[in-house]
């Protein structure tokens, strides 16, 4: 087998009939598979041993020869070559067809070459029409004399048809029969693929290309069609292939092991669908040959020809045939195309997806005693996963003399097995994976600790990175087998090395639940019964007093802590340095501060969830990973310990109803009655009534919330839980428990003007339950639908960014992205300065301290390098990307930042709700904008919004805004400020919210109404930079609305790919084709080469492509084919004889090569 490392590129092309026969080891002539009595392959059949090789290693069919001694010998009795049985996975056969057939993948290309419409091509292949191939002009002139003597009208009409006849005309069957009978030797016409083969083989490609060039330059009636035809013609001219190869005279038969046939118990047979499709072809081919030999009538022969064409089309692509070939149960048979495409196809399942051994899965439970880099592995699972390693250790220690003896010891489960297993696990890591694996942090490495039971124990703090919880979630365990794999897992995947989130650079591990509750309880200001403001010389003396019971956790005390920075409020406030190192604090805070590294100072404030998260982030940036890991483990220990000691829980008695509740509700009802009266009297419109209803009940809800806060104990269990942030519960949930549920949204997202006045403590009325349930049910449905849509979005994002790899250090671009400080502070961190800013020179990597220093020096704007402006022809450069957000250091060469960007954007997708935001609550208002996942999808696929807001095409002054009272539609008149004084009128549909006013001066690109803009309009009017800015801001608007944090850098990587291609409008003196979409860097190189020779450059227009089109236009045909539209991508690549240079990740993974740039 060829070494994959020696493969530099892969090329795909059309196979000539000679090439197909050269692949074959023999012709398959019989439709039989195996003999019903002997169960052996039939000679010359689909499983013939003479053609495809022996079914048993080194044995012929008749049994005369055995063993490797006669390798390559052909048995003189049965004709089978002695070879390993594995050759049946490699050797191909072929079927010689009685008539040529057309390959269904290339029908469009055939039609373009021959200037036939798809309908004409299909009618030819259905043998319903005849194609004129040749006309004998001498015979046609002789036919004139015969026609003059003709007495009946039909013959004269036939002659007129003959006169009008030209080559490539299509004749109906009746018309052909009439003309061929009356004028037998005057013209030649054929039908089916044979006719196409004749024309394609005689096609003058150079002459046709010159003719099409002239037609395009003359700008005829249909230049688009001429351009499409020229593309196909040039494909064959440049590739050196012949167009008639798209018509097959023989078809290959794939190796039998790739289409297996199994004999089951009871003599039943299970066979691959391909065998049935081949059998149909052989039956019809044999029958057609017999009819041709016997000289059967043409109508019968044509019927059989059509049947053969249909059988061959079904073999290649059964899904797209008019009448699908089915089995006895009516199920459509899987063709070659079906076996290649889709999630279960050869590309995605076998080449990109790998089946793994040494893996297991189980339910996860919390392991509070574990360290951050540890997981609890059940003994039974570890026993199975590490069985081969245990056998190896038994042999190394000479506990067993042979592998068989060692295996028996393991199966008997001798006592020493567990000690050996402990030794095997020492310093080994296992990988834990939680599906769905949406981003890099979904697979992490841990040191396994053997535990009893059957559940995997997981450290509570890594749950946020895995997006896991302990309510029945399952995780898979994988064992890296080799020493190199173990080293790589320890270096890259160990949980203690993945403390930052790749999407934002924020900590991926943050305390939650009881850990937060315990830490908040420990550091909270609470009333104490002990005497306050006692003075202690140091923290140890204070802890001793607490142990002795003289003070409790929350007693205010004064402690000398030394020369330490004291933070009375969370940063960014400046720390204090108290005189003589004395600080007023509590024992609880002393205990908590004992676990903090020295650079973090002394934290003298209550630590709720956000404060703890900020503290972890600060520790990570100032003290490093190791100190942060120790802090997190100590924080977990303290949190659990004091959450237990606090005894915080709540009962029904803790829930208090505000006494003013009924009075406020009655007040609200009175106001509503007044509004209803005005509405029914016609004094207010429906929109005004709706707005007032929402305002009344919103105000009542807020007043009840205020009264509820007054009656709840601020240090009670409920308020402690809410203030700590330990759970997702906010005060809004507490209000629903004992106050009022308030206004709810309908399934469409519109706020219902009828409030739910009850609460959960008192119980809901029946109709209130219905109102409340509809929105909740919509939420459940959205979540299940979102999962699939979010996964598909992530896949497209990753595919689009697949070829964005860090390929060079610096592209030396002079352009950069202008950023305003402090509004874009977070986005500027991790970037490299494009020009000098203050004391920082160009090329400086910005971190938090440096950005804060720039802010302190009064700098308001900086220009930074950005992926949007990177000039690397392939991939991206280090300087334009900046730092790796997961490590905080400069990105390394070879990093797959495009895949990282796709994961970062796609991972929060399930959080995006499919809802509609209604400004003012009017459901069908034109300014309503779709949010959530549909909006993200529309932006990335560059869909034109249903009601795109028009933008000003010229600068000018708004002269008038006129509204038609009968229709509600408006007209906006804008006058130019130039001397010509032109005026433009824009028609605005009813209920659109106009965003401008009369006499306002507007610039080109100003939105005239509220709502979503068409990105293509922005590109056309304002250019590339404005389009990039709009897409990034709109995407971020959706993510920020859900609280998801995605760094702008990731969006810039994907948006750069979407604006990577140009449309050739004029070829100039280049070899580029008008109408083709190519990479703009290839276009720039081509133009530069032509200009250097003094030629006329090509003209092009920048294109904004959606994610799907971006992937399909990639240079790698292997990557594009494995994405979607496989048959279209492969057929186009074969016609162009495309070469894949194996630069990207997917194509190298598919052939088994090491991925480029990987460590």
Over the stretch 156-172, which tens digit does the pLDDT of each residue have? 788 888 888 888 899 99
Mean pLDDT computed over 712-717: 81
CA distance 1038 to 1035: 5
Range of the domain at 408: 354-497
Q: Is 917 a residue whose pLDDT tops 50?
A: no
Q: Which residues contact 1060 (CB under 8 A, 6 or more apart)?
A: 1079, 1080, 1081, 1105, 1110
pLDDT at 928: 37
Tell me which of 646, 671, 693 is where a domain ends.
646
DSSP lists the bridge partners of residue 445 as 431, 494
Count of domains for the chain: 6
Q: Which residue has the higher pLDDT, 1061 or 985?
A: 1061
Residues 199 and 142 in one domain: yes
Residue 909: band (very low, low, confident or very high) from pLDDT cuts 50, 70, 90? confident
Residues 206 and 308 in one domain: no
Q: Is 193 a residue whose pLDDT tops 90?
A: yes
CA distance 734 to 210: 79
Contact 639, 517 (CB under 8 A): yes
Mean pLDDT computed over 1115-1133: 93
Structure tokens, 758: 């009850």
Residue 747 within a domain: yes
pLDDT at 2: 66
Residue 963: band (very low, low, confident or very high) from pLDDT cuts 50, 70, 90? confident
Can you give the CATH number for the domain in which 985 is found?
2.40.50.100
Cis bond leading into 436, ω under 30°? yes
Residues 120 and 153 in one domain: yes
Residue 834 within a domain: no
Mean pLDDT computed over 936-961: 87
Residues 487 and 559 in one domain: no
Q: Is 572 a residue whose pLDDT tops 70?
A: yes
Residues 636 and 666 in one domain: no
* Helices (runs of H) and strands (runs of E) counted in the chain: 42, 34
Sole residue written with tokens 């049965």: 78
Inter-CA distances, 193 with 99, 130, 508, 686, Å: 8, 11, 62, 68
Count of alpha carbons within 13 angstroms of residue 140, beta-carbon side? 15
Q: Is 144 a residue whose pLDDT tops 70?
A: no
Q: Is 147 a residue whose pLDDT tops 70?
A: no
Residue 119: band (very low, low, confident or very high) from pLDDT cuts 50, 70, 90? very high
Q: Is 913 a residue whose pLDDT tops 70?
A: no
Contact 606, 553 (CB under 8 A): no
Strand 474-478 versus strand 556-560 pairing type: unpaired
> What b/e readout covers 998-1014, taking b as 16+ CB neighbours within 10 angstroms?
eeeebeebbbbbbbbbb
pLDDT at 152: 67
Can you give the CATH number for the domain in which 540 is found?
1.10.274.100
Residues 659 and 757 in one domain: yes
pLDDT at 490: 94
Share of the chain above pLDDT 70, in %: 96
pLDDT at 22: 96
Residue 788 within a domain: no
Mean pLDDT computed over 833-855: 88
Q: Which residues contact 1007 (CB under 8 A, 6 or more apart)?
A: 949, 950, 951, 995, 1013
Structure tokens, 1140: 């894949």
Residue 845 within a domain: no
Can you give the CATH number for the domain in which 380 is found?
2.40.40.20
Residues 694 and 756 in one domain: yes
Q: Is 1139 a residue whose pLDDT tops 90?
A: yes
pLDDT at 927: 34
First-to-last alpha carbon distance for the chain, in angstroms, is: 26
Contact 170, 130 (CB under 8 A): yes
Tell me which of 764, 799, 830 is where a domain ends.
764
pLDDT at 919: 30
CA 369 to chain centre: 38
Q: Which residues contact 841 (CB under 8 A, 6 or more apart)?
A: 833
Mean pLDDT computed over 141-156: 68
Tell me which of 764, 787, 815 is where a domain ends.
764
Mean pLDDT computed over 750-757: 86
Residue 1030 within a domain: no
CA distance 28 to 43: 9
Mean pLDDT computed over 1055-1064: 94
Contact 283, 129 (CB under 8 A): no
Residues 418 and 283 in one domain: no
Residue 686: exposure state from Cβ atoms within 10 A (0-12, 13-18, ≥19): exposed
Residues 616 and 629 in one domain: yes
Beta strand ranges found along 1030-1098 (DSSP E) = 1061-1066, 1077-1079
Can you give the CATH number for the domain in which 756 is found?
1.10.132.30
Can you give the CATH number for the domain in which 335 is found?
4.10.860.120
pLDDT at 932: 81
Q: Which residue has the higher pLDDT, 318 or 580?
A: 318
Residue 939 within a domain: no
Sole residue written with tokens 């492969």: 1130
**pLDDT tens digits, residue range 479-525?**
999 999 999 999 999 999 999 999 888 899 888 889 999 999 999 88
Mean pLDDT computed over 957-972: 80
Listed residue (1108, 1031, 1053, 1119) closest to 897, CA to CA: 1053
E strand or H helix at 671: helix 661-680
pLDDT at 926: 33
Listed residue (907, 915, 911) closest to 934, CA to CA: 915
Cis bond leading into 21, ω under 30°? no
Residue 879 within a domain: no
SS3 of residue 526 by DSSP? coil
Listed residue (945, 868, 863) closest to 901, CA to CA: 868
Mean pLDDT computed over 190-212: 93
Residue 1114 within a domain: no
Residue 547: exposure state from Cβ atoms within 10 A (0-12, 13-18, ≥19): exposed
Q: Which residues contact 1126 (CB under 8 A, 6 or more apart)?
A: 337, 340, 341, 345, 347
The pTM assigned to this predicted structure is 0.88
Q: Is 1033 a residue whose pLDDT tops 50?
A: yes
Residue 250: band (very low, low, confident or very high) from pLDDT cuts 50, 70, 90? very high
Q: Which residues contact 211 (CB under 8 A, 6 or more apart)?
A: none
- List own/partner pairs for 229-235 with CB under 8 A and 24 or more apart: 229/112, 229/113, 229/115, 230/1073, 230/1074, 231/1073, 231/1075, 231/1076, 232/109, 232/112, 232/113, 232/1135, 233/113, 233/205, 233/208, 233/209, 234/209, 234/1073, 235/1135, 235/1136, 235/1137
CA distance 1110 to 1115: 10
Contact 499, 508 (CB under 8 A): yes
Residues 553 and 430 in one domain: no
pLDDT at 921: 28
State the alpha helices, DSSP H only, in 835-876. Answer: 848-856
Residues 330 and 208 in one domain: no
Angle at 669 between CA 664 and CA 673, to 5 degrees: 150
E strand or H helix at 51: helix 49-52
Q: Is 101 a residue whose pLDDT tops 70?
A: yes
Residues 490 and 473 in one domain: yes
Evaluate the CA torsion angle 24, 30, 34, 40 in order and state its sign: negative
Q: Is 965 a residue whose pLDDT tops 80?
A: no
CA distance 74 to 80: 5
Q: Is 1008 a residue whose pLDDT tops 90?
A: no
Structure tokens, 298: 């043409």
Mean pLDDT estimate for the chain: 88
Listed residue (1080, 1123, 1086) closest to 1102, CA to CA: 1080
CA distance 1086 to 1099: 11
CA distance 1157 to 668: 67
**pLDDT tens digits, residue range 636-673?**
999 999 999 888 888 888 888 888 988 999 999 999 99
Identify the weakest region by mean pLDDT among 547-551, 593-597, 604-608: 547-551
CA 433 to chain centre: 19
Contact 553, 638 (CB under 8 A): no
């Amino acid at each position: 087998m060829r070494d994959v490392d020696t493969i530099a590129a892969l090329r795909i092309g059309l196979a000539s009939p000679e090439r197909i026969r050269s692949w074959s080891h023999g012709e398959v002539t019989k439709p039989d598979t195996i003999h019903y009595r002997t169960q052996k392959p039939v000679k010359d059949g689909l499983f013939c041993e003479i053609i495809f090789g022996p079914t048993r290693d080194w044995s012929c069919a008749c049994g005369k020869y055995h063993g490797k001694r006669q390798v390559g010998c052909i048995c003189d009795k049965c004709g089978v070559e002695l070879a390993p049985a594995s050759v049946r996975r490699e050797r191909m056969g072929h079927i010689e067809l009685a008539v040529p057939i057309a390959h269904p993948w290339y029908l469009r290309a055939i039609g373009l070459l021959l200037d036939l419409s798809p309908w004409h091509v299909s009618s030819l292949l259905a043998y319903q029409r005849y194609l004129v191939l040749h006309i004998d002009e001498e015979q046609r002139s002789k036919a004139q004399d015969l026609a003059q003597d003709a007495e009946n009208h039909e013959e004269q009409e036939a002659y007129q048809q003959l006169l009008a006849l030209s080559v490539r005309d299509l004749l109906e069957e009746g018309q052909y029969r009439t003309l061929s009978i009356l004028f037998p030797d005057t013209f030649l016409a054929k039908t089916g693929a044979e006719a196409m083969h004749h024309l394609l083989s005689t096609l003058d490609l150079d002459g046709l290309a010159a003719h099409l060039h002239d037609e395009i330059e003359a700008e005829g009636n249909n230049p688009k069609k001429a351009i499409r035809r020229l593309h196909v013609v040039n494909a064959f001219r440049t590739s050196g292939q012949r167009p008639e190869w798209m018509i097959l005279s023989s078809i290959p038969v794939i190796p039998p092991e790739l289409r297996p046939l199994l004999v089951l118990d009871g003599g039943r047979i299970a066979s691959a669908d391909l065998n049935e499709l081949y059998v149909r072809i052989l039956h019809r081919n044999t029958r057609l040959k017999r009819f041709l030999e016997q000289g059967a009538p043409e109508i019968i022969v044509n019927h059989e020809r059509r049947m053969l064409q249909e059988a061959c089309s079904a073999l290649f692509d059964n899904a797209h045939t008019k009448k699908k070939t089915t089995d006895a149960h009516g199920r459509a048979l899987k063709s070659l195309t079906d076996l290649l495409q889709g999630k279960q196809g050869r590309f995605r399942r076998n080449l990109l997806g790998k089946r793994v051994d040494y893996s297991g899965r189980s339910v996860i439970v919390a392991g509070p005693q574990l360290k951050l880099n540890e997981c609890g592995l059940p003994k039974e699972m570890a026993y199975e996963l590490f069985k081969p390693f245990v056998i190896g250790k038994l042999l190394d220690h000479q506990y067993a003399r042979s592998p068989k003896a060692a295996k028996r010891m393991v199966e008997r489960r001798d006592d020493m097995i567990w000690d050996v297993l402990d030794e095997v696990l020492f310093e080994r890591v296992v990988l834990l994976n939680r599906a769905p694996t949406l981003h890099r942090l979904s697979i992490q490495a841990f040191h396994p600790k053997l535990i009893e039971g059957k559940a995997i124990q997981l450290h509570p703090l890594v749950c946020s990175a895995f997006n896991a919880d302990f309510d029945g979630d399952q995780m898979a365990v994988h064992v890296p087998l080799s020493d190199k794999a173990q080293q790589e897992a320890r270096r890259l995947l160990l949980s203690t090395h993945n403390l930052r989130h790749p999407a934002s650079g924020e900590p991926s591990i943050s305390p939650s639940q009881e850990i937060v509750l315990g830490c908040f309880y420990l550091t909270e200001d609470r009333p104490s019964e002990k005497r306050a403001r006692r003075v202690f010389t140091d923290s140890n003396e204070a802890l001793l007093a607490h142990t002795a019971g003289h003070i409790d956790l929350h007693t205010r005390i004064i402690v000398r802590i030394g020369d330490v920075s004291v933070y009375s409020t969370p940063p960014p406030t400046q720390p204090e340095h108290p005189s003589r190192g004395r600080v007023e604090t509590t024992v609880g805070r002393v205990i908590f501060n004992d676990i903090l590294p020295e650079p973090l100072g002394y934290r003298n404030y209550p630590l709720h969830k956000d404060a703890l998260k900020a503290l972890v982030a600060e520790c990570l940036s100032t003290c490093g990973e190791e100190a942060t890991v120790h802090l997190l483990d100590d924080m977990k220990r303290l949190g659990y310990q004091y959450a237990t000691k606090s005894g915080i829980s709540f009962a029904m008695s803790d829930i208090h109803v505000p006494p003013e509740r009924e009075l406020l509700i009655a007040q609200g009802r009175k106001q509503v009655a007044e509004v209803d009266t005005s509405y029914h009297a016609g004094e207010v419109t429906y929109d005004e009534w709706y707005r007032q209803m929402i305002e009344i009940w919103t105000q009542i809800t807020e007043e009840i919330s205020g009264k509820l806060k007054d009656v709840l104990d601020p240090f009670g269990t409920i308020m402690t839980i809410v203030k700590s942030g330990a759970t997702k519960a906010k005060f809004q949930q507490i209000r629903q428990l004992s106050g009022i549920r308030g206004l709810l949204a309908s399934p469409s997202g519109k706020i219902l003007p009828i409030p739910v006045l009850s609460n959960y403590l008192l119980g809901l009325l029946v109709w209130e339950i219905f109102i409340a349930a509809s929105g909740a049910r919509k939420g459940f449905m959205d979540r299940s639908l979102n999962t699939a849509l979010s996964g598909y979005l992530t896949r497209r994002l990753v595919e689009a960014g697949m070829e964005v790899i860090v390929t060079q250090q610096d592209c030396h671009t002079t352009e950069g992205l202008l950023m305003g400080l402090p509004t874009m502070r977070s986005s500027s961190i991790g970037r490299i300065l494009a020009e000098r800013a203050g004391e920082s020179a160009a090329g400086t990597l910005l971190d938090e301290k440096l950005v804060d220093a720039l802010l302190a020096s009064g700098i308001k704007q900086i220009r930074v390098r950005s992926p949007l402006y990177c000039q690397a022809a392939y991939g991206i450069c280090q300087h334009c990307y900046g730092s790796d957000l997961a490590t905080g250091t400069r990105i390394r060469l070879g990093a797959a930042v495009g895949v990282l960007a796709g994961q970062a954007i796609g991972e929060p997708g399930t959080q995006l709700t499919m809802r509609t935001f209604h400004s003012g609550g009017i459901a069908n208002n034109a300014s309503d904008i779709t949010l959530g996942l549909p909006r993200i999808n529309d932006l990335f696929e560059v869909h034109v919004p249903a009601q795109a807001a028009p933008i000003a095409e010229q600068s000018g002054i708004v002269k008038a805004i006129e509204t038609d009272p009968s229709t509600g539609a408006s007209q906006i008149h804008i006058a130019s400020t130039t001397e010509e004084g032109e005026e433009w009128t824009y028609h605005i549909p009813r209920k659109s919210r106009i965003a401008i006013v009369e006499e306002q001066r507007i610039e080109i690109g100003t939105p005239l109404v509220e709502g979503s803009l068409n990105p293509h309009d922005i590109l056309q009017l304002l250019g590339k930079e404005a389009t990039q800015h709009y897409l990034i801001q709109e995407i971020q608007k959706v993510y920020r609305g859900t609280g998801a944090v995605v760094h702008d850098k990731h969006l810039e990587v994907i948006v750069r790919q979407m604006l990577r291609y140009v449309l050739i409008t004029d070829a100039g003196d280049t070899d580029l084709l008008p109408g083709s979409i190519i990479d703009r860097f290839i276009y720039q190189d081509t133009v530069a080469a032509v200009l250097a020779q003094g030629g006329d450059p090509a003209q092009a227009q920048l294109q904004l492509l959606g994610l799907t089109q971006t992937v399909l236009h990639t240079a790698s045909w292997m990557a594009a084919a494995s994405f979607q539209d496989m048959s279209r991508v492969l057929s186009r690549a074969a016609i162009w004889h495309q070469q894949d240079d194996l630069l990207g990740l997917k194509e190298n993974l598919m052939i088994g090569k090491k991925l480029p740039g990987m460590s």
